[in-house]
């Protein structure tokens, strides 16, 4: 258990040895990364591929050196400390099991290197195997195991060590969808039980939302927002986070503002107290309006807040019906109740409550007006 | 369907013809080694004759020194292979797992030394060897064989190491293994089939080497290549004895190759199919 602190951490591949084919040499792969974890916290790093989340994790592991800033584990700067002395365990996307060793040998490897007594190693391995339900596999070689079993062994190899910090680099992305959901829950349970500070890298926002106590959303090497899952959903700091979190993604409409009303071709929405003062005082004209598909509902053509368009696509999922409409130049996705009858080519009027609207600055794309009050949202300078 | 079958048959016949063409000189060598010198010298090819072991007896006779040459061949081939692997493994490890921008150049540069014909560097090496007293010296020949094979060994070991996922090496790093522990407990066991076939290839190349053996040794460090050449004397060629000597010279390596062919094939195609 430990508190991990990253202070102004940056990585530039052009400095020192250039790992072949990785990163843009001219710019930082990770830039100005600041984060302090709680002891035992589960932090998820999420973002599209190439956003620097894996590089950040590899810097915490020591597999890559940070070219700027400091990484502290329990107050001690480990920036120059090799991986083996950082007391961390890592689960790789490829599992990275040692193919020539049995499951038991794989799990015992780190303890053997530390020259722990054989009896103690056996106890630890058996305990971990029991926790993960892999006692019956201990004598097998990795190639004899299924993907899910290998995943468990990789987790077992990490927990046997009783490390200060767990690092997990997209550990579920090689599993099929059903197993992924099961393992997701199991990793969360495991974390509750062991209470070890954990960093978890994923590109899947659903995984991030379901697992993280706090989520770091990254893009182009920079932190976009660090917050709890619910705050990311309700108070995205900028347009990127708003579009990245949530499924189906948030709709964005380019709108003109006048007197507390934002409008464009086919829609008209009035702002409430959350947005109105900020937009009016800043005399804004061009803004982005964000509306989550699940906040749209059918209404009549006279509603104050209305969006009108023709139906292009209807996806009937049973529980919900997802509809795509053409609204002027925009395409708008709406998530309607499952029993809703919608036909292609229908003209629909949708409505949305004013307090569910999100506004973003036209140029900086930062959120306007509404901000999280529950917890300070650590929006990074973009 | 039919055309496919007839194509296959044609390919089969072609394969047999090519195989026989390649194998024929060895067959002829083997037949000649069981002939008398008169029979060996006939102009009309003679496949049917009463075999005799006279040539083998002569080739293995006390004065011929077969065992002396065979010992030199074995010693230089084995020791040069061991030194070659010992030097190549750390080099390949560094290049495979910690590449930098000069790694590719280094690999090409190493193999480019093989582009130079041996005779091109004969004079300088001969003069240096002569000056330091390494002519006709088993150590001198071993070092030459090592230098000759090192680029190939590094390349092969490098490619086997490259087939090992980097994640596994990083996992060992995080698990607390030192570089030596990672090498001996993780990387080498995984690359073992490849190392074995690399070693065998180096062994065969050194065993079969004749240019340096003949030019740099005379008697005390001379290998089987020199022994075979010695049957070409001023009075003429002794075809039967020379054939017997050649059979004796290539026999050990053919037997070794026969027993290890599965290992060889596995090693040489290692990583080709994942």
Residue A315's pLDDT is what?
93
- Say yes or no: A301 and A257 in one domain: yes
- Say yes or no: A28 and A165 in one domain: yes
Would you call A119 an interface residue with chain B, using a CB distance cutoff of 8 Å?
Answer: no
Select the residue from A54, A90, A154, A157 to test the B interface by mutation, using most B Cβ atoms within 10 A: A90
In this prediction, residues B205-221 reach a mean pLDDT of 90
- 3-state class of A178 per DSSP? helix
CB contact under 8 A, B175 and A92: no
Would you call A177 an interface residue with chain B, using a CB distance cutoff of 8 Å?
Answer: no
In this prediction, residues A293-315 reach a mean pLDDT of 92
Extract long-range pairs of A292-296: CB within 8 Å, 24+ residues apart: A292/A246, A292/A250, A292/A251, A292/A356, A293/A248, A293/A249, A293/A250, A293/A251, A293/A322, A293/A333, A293/A334, A293/A335, A294/A335, A295/A352, A295/A353, A295/A356, A296/A251, A296/A332, A296/A334, A296/A335, A296/A336, A296/A350, A296/A351, A296/A352
Residue A371's pLDDT is what?
58
Residue A308 has pLDDT above 70, yes or no: yes
- Say yes or no: B8 and B90 in one domain: no
Residue A196's pLDDT is what?
95
H runs (alpha helix) in B163-187: 166-174, 179-181
- Say yes or no: A195 and A259 in one domain: no
- Say yes or no: A352 and A289 in one domain: yes
- Say yes or no: A204 and A297 in one domain: no
**Chain B closest-CA separation from residue A290 CA (Å):** 41
CB contact under 8 A, A83 and B178: no
Residue A7's pLDDT is what?
94
Residue B267's pLDDT is what?
62
CB contact under 8 A, B175 and A100: no
- Say yes or no: B20 and B70 in one domain: no
The domain tally of chain B equals 2
Beta bridge partners of A251: A291
Secondary structure in 3-state letters for B73-117: HHHHHHHHHHHHHHHHHHHHHHHHHCCCCCHHHHHHHHHHCCCCC
- Say yes or no: B38 and B78 in one domain: no
Q: What share of chain B is helix, strand, coil (3-state, %, to 5)?
A: 75, 0, 20
CB contact under 8 A, B171 and A82: no
In a domain, A381, yes or no: no
Residue B260's pLDDT is what?
79
CA–chain centroid gap for A376, Å, is: 18
Q: How far apart are the first and last CA of chain A?
A: 32
In this prediction, residues A180-206 reach a mean pLDDT of 93
Residue of higher predicted confidence among B138 and A371: B138
Please give the radius of gyration of chain B, using alpha carbons only, rounded to the nearest integer. 23
Res. A379 pLDDT band, cuts 50 70 90: very low
Residue A18 has pLDDT above 80, yes or no: no
In a domain, A351, yes or no: yes
In a domain, B244, yes or no: no
Residue A370's pLDDT is what?
65
Q: Alpha-carbon torsion A71, A77, A80, A82, what sign? A: negative
Would you call A233 an interface residue with chain B, using a CB distance cutoff of 8 Å?
Answer: no
In a domain, A207, yes or no: yes
Torsion of Cα atoms, B197 then B199 then B200 then B203, to 10°: 160
In a domain, B120, yes or no: yes
**Chain B closest-CA separation from residue A133 CA (Å):** 22
In this prediction, residues B67-72 reach a mean pLDDT of 91
Instruction: Give the domain CATH number at A53.
Output: 3.40.50.300
The domain tally of chain A equals 2
What percent of chain A is predicted at pLDDT more than 70? Answer: 93
**Chain B closest-CA separation from residue A7 CA (Å):** 22
- Say yes or no: A94 and A136 in one domain: yes
Instruction: Give the domain CATH number at B195.
Output: 1.10.3720.10
Residue A217's pLDDT is what?
96
Q: pLDDT digit string (tens) for A81-127? A: 999 999 999 999 999 999 999 999 999 999 999 999 999 999 999 99
CB contact under 8 A, B175 and A110: yes
- Pick the residue from chain A with its C-alpha nearest to B167: A96
- Among A24-38, A56-70, A350-364, the least confident range: A24-38
List the domain range (segments joined by +) for residue A334.
248-368
CB contact under 8 A, B171 and A100: no
Cβ-Cβ contacts under 8 Å between A and B: the total is 65
Residue A305 has pLDDT above 60, yes or no: yes
**Chain A closest-CA separation from residue B149 CA (Å):** 28
Res. A17 pLDDT band, cuts 50 70 90: very low
Cα–Cα distance for residue pair A186/A175, rounded to 1 Å: 14
Cα–Cα distance for residue pair B206/B78, rounded to 1 Å: 8
- Say yes or no: B141 and B159 in one domain: yes
Q: Alpha-carbon torsion A168, A173, A176, A182, what sign? A: positive
Cα–Cα distance for residue pair A248/A313, rounded to 1 Å: 14
Cα–Cα distance for residue pair A226/B19, rounded to 1 Å: 69
Residue of higher predicted confidence among B36 and B95: B95
- Pick the residue from chain B with its C-alpha nearest to A111: B175
Q: Which two tokens stand for residue B7?
A: 């194509």
In a domain, B169, yes or no: yes
Residue B235 has pLDDT above 90, yes or no: no
- Say yes or no: B16 and B49 in one domain: yes
- Pick the residue from chain B with its C-alpha nearest to A13: B100
Residue A193's pLDDT is what?
92
- Say yes or no: A154 and A301 in one domain: no
Residue A278 has pLDDT above 90, yes or no: no
CB B3 within 8 A of CB B9: no
Contacts B165 to A, Cβ<8 Å: 94, 96
Residue A24's pLDDT is what?
47
In this prediction, residues A339-363 reach a mean pLDDT of 91
Residue A380's pLDDT is what?
40
In a domain, A358, yes or no: yes
Residue A377's pLDDT is what?
41
Residue B116's pLDDT is what?
86
pTM, to two decimals: 0.81
CB A53 within 8 A of CB A226: no
Residue of higher predicted confidence among A351 and B236: A351
In this prediction, residues B244-258 reach a mean pLDDT of 86
Would you call A15 an interface residue with chain B, using a CB distance cutoff of 8 Å?
Answer: no
Mean pLDDT over all residues of chain A? 89
Contacts A108 to B, Cβ<8 Å: none
Residue A374's pLDDT is what?
42
Interface of B with A (CB under 8 A): 98-101, 165, 167-168, 170-178, 181, 185-186, 189-190
Residue B272 has pLDDT above 60, yes or no: no
- Pick the residue from chain A with its C-alpha nearest to B187: A98
In a domain, A241, yes or no: no
* Of A33, A28, A27, nearest in space to A8 by CA: A33
**Chain A closest-CA separation from residue B167 CA (Å):** 5
- Say yes or no: A227 and A260 in one domain: no
CB contact under 8 A, A88 and B174: yes
List the domain range (segments joined by +) for residue B10.
2-56
Instruction: Give the domain CATH number at A307.
Output: 2.40.50.140
Would you call A222 an interface residue with chain B, using a CB distance cutoff of 8 Å?
Answer: no
Which one of B98, B167, B186 has the shortest CB-CB distance to A94?
B167
């Amino acid at each position: 258990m430990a508190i991990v602190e990253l202070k102004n951490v940056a990585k530039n591949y052009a400095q020192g040895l250039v790992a072949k084919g990785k990163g843009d040499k001219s710019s930082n792969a990770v830039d100005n990364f600041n984060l302090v974890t709680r002891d035992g916290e589960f932090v998820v790093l999420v973002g599209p591929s190439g956003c620097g989340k894996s590089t950040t994790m590899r810097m915490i592991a020591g597999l890559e050196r940070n070219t700027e800033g400091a990484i502290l584990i329990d107050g001690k700067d480990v920036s120059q400390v090799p991986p083996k002395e950082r007391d961390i365990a890592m689960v790789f996307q490829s599992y990275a099991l040692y193919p020539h060793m049995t499951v038991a040998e794989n799990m015992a490897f780190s303890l053997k290197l530390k020259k722990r007594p054989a009896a103690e190693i056996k106890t630890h391995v058996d305990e971990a195997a029991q926790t993960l339900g892999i006692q019956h596999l201990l004598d097998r070689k990795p190639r004899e195991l299924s993907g899910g079993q290998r995943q468990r062994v990789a987790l077992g190899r990490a927990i046997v060590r009783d490390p200060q910090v767990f690092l997990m680099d997209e550990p579920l992305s090689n599993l099929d969808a059903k197993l992924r959901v099961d393992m997701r829950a199991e990793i969360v349970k495991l974390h509750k039980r062991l209470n070890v500070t954990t960093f978890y890298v994923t590109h899947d926002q659903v995984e991030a939302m379901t697992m993280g106590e706090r989520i770091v959303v990254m893009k182009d090497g920079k932190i976009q927002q660090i917050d709890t899952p619910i705050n990311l959903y309700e108070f995205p700091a900028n347009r990127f986070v708003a579009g990245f979190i949530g499924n189906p993604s948030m709709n964005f409409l380019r709108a003109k503002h006048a007197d507390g009303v934002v409008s464009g071709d086919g829609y008209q929405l009035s702002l409430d107290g959350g947005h109105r003062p900020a937009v009016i005082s800043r005399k804004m004209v061009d803004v982005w309006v964000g509306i989550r598909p699940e906040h749209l509902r059918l209404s009549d053509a006279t509603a104050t807040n209305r969006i009108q368009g023709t139906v292009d696509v209807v996806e009937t999922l049973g529980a919900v019906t997802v509809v795509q409409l053409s609204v002027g130049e925009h395409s708008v996705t709406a998530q309607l109740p499952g029993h809703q009858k919608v036909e292609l080519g229908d003209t629909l009027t949708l409505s949305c409550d004013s307090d569910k609207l999100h506004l973003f600055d036209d140029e900086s794309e930062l959120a306007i007006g509404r901000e999280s009050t529950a917890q300070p949202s650590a929006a990074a300078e973009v | 369907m039919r055309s496919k079958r007839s194509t296959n048959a044609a390919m089969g016949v072609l394969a047999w013809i090519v195989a026989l063409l390649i194998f024929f000189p060895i067959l002829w060598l083997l037949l000649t080694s069981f002939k008398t010198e008169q029979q060996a010298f006939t102009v009309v090819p003679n496949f049917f004759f009463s075999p005799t072991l006279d040539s083998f007896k002569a080739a293995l006779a006390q004065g011929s020194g077969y065992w002396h040459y065979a010992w030199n061949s074995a010693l230089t081939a084995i020791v040069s292979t061991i030194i070659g692997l010992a030097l190549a493994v750390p080099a390949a490890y560094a290049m495979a797992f910690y590449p930098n921008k000069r790694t590719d150049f280094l690999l090409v540069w190493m193999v480019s030394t093989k582009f130079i014909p041996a005779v091109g560097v004969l004079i300088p090496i001969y003069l240096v060897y002569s000056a330091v007293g390494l002519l006709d010296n088993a150590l001198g020949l071993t070092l030459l064989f090592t230098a000759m094979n090192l680029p190939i060994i590094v390349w092969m070991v490098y490619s086997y190491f490259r087939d090992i996922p980097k994640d596994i090496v990083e996992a060992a790093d995080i698990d607390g293994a030192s570089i030596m522990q990672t090498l001996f407990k993780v990387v080498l066991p995984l690359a073992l089939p490849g190392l074995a076939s690399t070693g065998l290839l180096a062994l065969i190349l050194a065993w079969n080497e004749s240019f340096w053996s003949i030019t740099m040794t005379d008697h005390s460090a001379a290998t089987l290549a020199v022994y075979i050449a010695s049957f070409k004397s001023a009075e003429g060629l002794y075809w039967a004895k020379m054939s017997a000597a050649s059979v004796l010279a290539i026999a050990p390596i053919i037997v070794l190759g026969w027993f290890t062919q599965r290992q060889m094939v596995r090693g040489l195609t290692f990583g080709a199919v994942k």
